[in-house]
Amino acid sequence: MGPATRKGVRSIRSIPRLSRRKRDSHKGDFGRVLIVGGSRGMIGAAALAASAALRAGAGLVKMALPKSIQLACAALEPCATSLALPESEAGTFSAAAIAKITNAAKDHDVLAVGPGLDESAALTKLLGAVIGFANKPVVIDADGLNNLCQIRDWPKKVRAKLILTPHPGEAKRLWVALKKSAWPRSRSDAALGLARTCRQVVVLKGAGTVVTDGSRIYVNKTGNPGMATGGTGDVLTGVIAALIGQGLDVFDAAVLGVYLHGRAGDLAAEMTGQVSLTARDLLEVLPDAFRQIQ
């Protein structure tokens, strides 16, 4: 990091932990997660995020989906419930879905928005509504971020607690839309600059994923190139959302989620090799990653 960017930044090296569960706990104690995503051409993304949230300990998970894909997604993850919502001719959420999602959000502790979402004017309006939820933690990934870029001066409109999980391309689009300046060469500088501009937690994915809230920074060491495959980001989104639902603050949930996600990738690669690794393999070994750290 450059001297100006580094000033006042605390490097985080310890990994947060979840509290031990009490014997008399019930599913309501471990968070209600609402996954908002899916579209006709990307049915699996929301289901992957939901499965990951369940594997990461969420008590209850619901998928809010365009109605034409609801049955298929429900079949992919039977342990989650689902909500079929109005859709456009293209099979994405229509404007009529926004009020229903807003209403559903009231009954959930945390939202994960973006897996398989697609882009449209209605979806940009949806993101505008989502960031206005007062004090509600919201993990935003994939097309959730791309739609967010279309909202002028969106950081000034945020009332929710956001965790933004961009890959480098998505991060650069956010940066250019807000900063109108050159993209920093250093990943740490880029993540810090974006977090400070947005005043939110940023998870800049990639080799050595960077987690920062603008004053603290964590650079992850787990993970491998086999994780560079479709769907792994959806898994991370679900894991982080589940950890927030279980009581971690948004920064700690992002740090622990990134660590566990990478560790699961390493465990999966030991079984399949890096070349054959898929996002579903991460779901199978997430329990082992949790056992190792707990």
Q: Which amino acid is at 291?
A: R
**Cα–Cα distance for residue pair 262/224, rounded to 1 Å:** 7
Confidence category of residue 180, pLDDT binned at 50, 70, 90: confident
Per residue in 25-46, pLDDT (tens digit) is: 999 999 999 999 999 999 999 9
Confidence category of residue 107, pLDDT binned at 50, 70, 90: very high
| Per-residue pLDDT, 8 | 84
Collapsing DSSP to helix, strand or coil, 158 comes out as coil
Per residue in 58-102, pLDDT (tens digit) is: 999 999 999 999 999 999 999 999 999 999 999 999 999 999 999
CB 116 within 8 A of CB 42: yes
Give the chain's domains with CATH numbers: 28-173+222-293 (3.40.1190.20)
pTM of the model: 0.97
β-bridge pairing 60-66 and 161-164: unpaired
Phi/psi for 59 (5° steps) reads -70, -40
**Cα–Cα distance for residue pair 285/266, rounded to 1 Å:** 9
Give me the helices (H) in 137-249, please.
Answer: 143-148, 168-179, 187-198, 232-245
137-175 b/e with 16+ CB inside 10 Å = b? bbbbbbbbbbbbbbbeebeeebebbbbbbbbeebbebbb
